[in-house]
Structure 1
């Protein structure tokens, strides 16, 4: 929301410009989150989400107190756990792989 408002004042922690940083963050937090919720391309969708949380927690909010980083660290922990454990049995990934095995 309010993309044009944040376009010039969004943080640029990795040096690619505020507009590109905002677009990458939107891509990760919107599109990759939808893929994760659907269970489609789960591990691939988690990579941009983990990178976004690492940048947010350790670079953008690096000097902030723990209370400001707590939610980001929680999400990062969940994303890493999901990446390591993989999608579940009822995910789209599992259903697609199951169909391809029987052919």
Structure 2
């Protein structure tokens, strides 16, 4: 007996909402200001591992601009979440270890959003998704 699994549409809507809002927040608050004020950001970006401001800033831009654009359209979502998670963990654990939960709540919430997307994936509401695809589980 074969069991068909079809994800309810509300789960796809929820994953899309999580992708959309999480990416827009990350882009608006962190990513785009780094691009629009690149020179200024170079002068005060934290460099917790001594790699230099260019490497630190470019790493942040990849994680906070390029990766959210992939996630927004649902392409390589799980993979694109990894640099974001890494940058958030570095920020919360190495750059701002003295912050209370209240002071770091935005960072922790972004970490929750992108870790959830890394676990769950993008859902079916994404560019290039086939609406008629079903996943089969069980033995025939």
TM exceeding 0.5: yes
State the TM-score, normalized to the length of structure 1.
Answer: 0.84
Which has more strand, going by share of residues? Answer: 2
- Please, which of 34, 38, 63 is the counterpart of residue 28 of structure 1? 63
- What's the TM-score once normalised by structure 2's chain length? 0.63
Q: Give unpaired runs (5+ residues) of structure 1.
A: 99-103
Q: Which structure is larger by alpha-carbon Rg, 1 or 2?
A: 2
Provide, for residues 68-93 of structure 1, a one-character-per-residue CA deviation record: whole Å limited to 9, x for no partner.
21100000011111111112012236
The structure, 1 or 2, with the larger RCO (C-alpha pairs under 8 Å, 6+ apart) is 2
Give the root-mean-square deviation of aligned CA atoms. 1.5
Shift of 1:44: 1.1
Unaligned 5+ runs, structure 2: 1-35, 134-140
Which residue does the alignment assign to 2:107? 72
Aligned to 1:84: 119
- Per mean C-alpha deviation after superposition, the further-off stretch among 8-17 and 30-39 is 8-17
Aligned residue among 95, 98, 112 for 1:63: 98
Residue 56 and residue 93 in structure 1: after superposition, are their counterparts in 2 closer, same or farther (change >3 A)?
A: farther
Instruction: Give the structure with the larger helix fraction.
Output: 1
Aligned length: 96
